[in-house]
A and B are shown apart, each in its own frame.
Chain A
Amino acid sequence: MAKGTIIESVKDALAVGSNIIESAKSEIVWLLPLSIVIFAAQYGIPNKSKTLIEHGGHIKSIFHISSQYVELAQSLLDIGENLRHLDQYEGVFFLVGDKKQSISSIHVNVEDLSLDDRIVAFWSEAPTYAEYLLTHFDQAWAQGVGAQDRLNELLEQRP
């Protein structure tokens, strides 16, 4: 596993992501497409995030918060995730645990993703690879806006 493993399905990617969160001791950061965040919620992965936070861990997360998924974003805030909204993100999606384990994907059909879709993701335990992804995360984090501000904005727009 030291040099990485290729992951080829959404299901496997979710399993790996879940495993990384479960085995993390102190920190998770993720930048994921909305479709994956929805799947993760359906599979109860936020419960593992909650457990990590309850044990003193931290989670920083970024996704595109749209008006249909205000409640999903709120539920992540409620369990204690430090969440941001990023508009019009185009790039690589990833999850990093404890600055070591990571899964990243280049091509994700973010608009219309199903569990059986083929993806190309890379699971790594190399700290250098994690550091590389975290550098990008910091840049994306700086460009994002606080989730609560985004939620307030979306709730104001609701009829």
Chain B
Amino acid sequence: MNSKRDTLMSKVFSTPSTNLEIPRVNGTESIVKMLNAFELNEKGVTFWGKETAYCAFKLVKTVGELVTTISQLINSAETSILFVAHPSFNLFSMGGFGEHFRCAAARGVRVRGILNIYPTNVLVAREYFSCGVELKHKDHYCGMTMVIADGKRSVNLIYTYLKSTLSLDEQVAALWSDSTTQAEFLTNAFEMTWTQAINAEEHIDQQLKRERHDETFPEHTDKTLSIRRHTAARQPSLTRS
């Protein structure tokens, strides 16, 4: 390893024409970054960038890549998983992440999540409970959708509208990162939302009680908020085009 490092150092300071694959860098920070990237590469981590040796960010451009990225984050977690989903991001309702969460919880990973729970995704919420996820409900959440693993690796996306029937090839704009600073940034945002959110089980119970009340007093019924009616409805689906 040291000899390889020395070789790399000599290449860093040599002329580009003799080492076309390795960009020349100036400054200690860049050299350290390049050496760190070199070590990561030896451990089997992919190089993401071309201009610099290693980039802490990578764009995720399709639903298929996003599903894979989220699954990998959950499966690789050793201590904690945090997730929060925008109401219009229905991939959590159709992506089949429940089993991944179950396995993570079974190996001792603490999984905390925030969803906007409404009639059409209450089954998903209950599935997450059964998988060992600590779940909270947040009304009108309007921030990023994100998943953070071990406070180190993350994926987030801003524009979250996805169709109810979704192709794996559909375009999205998401960002994968292994920057701990980015993970800290997202974790801060998660914790602020977690504080504002309410216990999901209580929220579901309240909704059911409200429904029973509405059945007794039908003149007050809000027909758009029937949990039992919507749980029987078809759930969104994920397709391969």
Contact = CB atoms under 8 A, between A and B. Distances in A.
Interface of A: 2-6, 90-92, 106-107, 120-122, 124, 126-129, 131-133, 135-136, 139
B163 to A, nearest CB: 15
A92 B56 contact: no
B179 A4 contact: yes
21 contacts: A3-B56, A4-B185, A6-B184, A6-B185, A91-B144, A92-B143, A92-B158, A106-B186, A107-B189, A120-B188, A122-B182, A122-B185, A124-B182, A127-B51, A129-B57, A129-B175, A132-B158, A132-B174, A135-B59, A135-B173, A136-B158
B59 A128 contact: yes
A4 B184 CA distance: 10
Nearest to A121: B185
| Cβ-closest 5 pairs across A and B | A90-B142, A128-B57, A3-B179, A135-B173, A106-B189
Interface residues of B, number: 30
Contacts of A136: 158-159, 173
Interface in B168-200: 173-175, 179-182, 184-186, 188-189, 192-193
Contacts, number: 75
B6 interface: no
B185 A128 contact: no
Given A3-B179, A5-B181, A136-B173, A128 B55 contact: yes
B21 interface: no
B213 interface: no
A152 B192 CA distance: 39
Given A107-B189, A128-B57, A132-B175, A2 B29 contact: yes
Given A92-B144, A107-B143, A120-B192, A128 B179 contact: no
Contacts of B49: 128
B58 interface: yes
Nearest to A128: B57
B181 A132 contact: no
Interface SS majority for chain B: mixed
Contacts of B51: 127
Contacts of A133: 158
Contact of A91 (B142, B182, B188): B142
A6 B181 contact: yes
Contact of A139 (B57, B159, B188, B189): B159
Contact of A132 (B56, B173, B188): B173
A93 B199 CA distance: 28
Interface in B11-59: 29, 33, 48-49, 51-52, 55-59
Contacts of B143: 91-92, 106-107
A118 to B, nearest CB: 9
Contacts of A132: 57, 59, 158, 173-175
B72 to A, nearest CB: 18
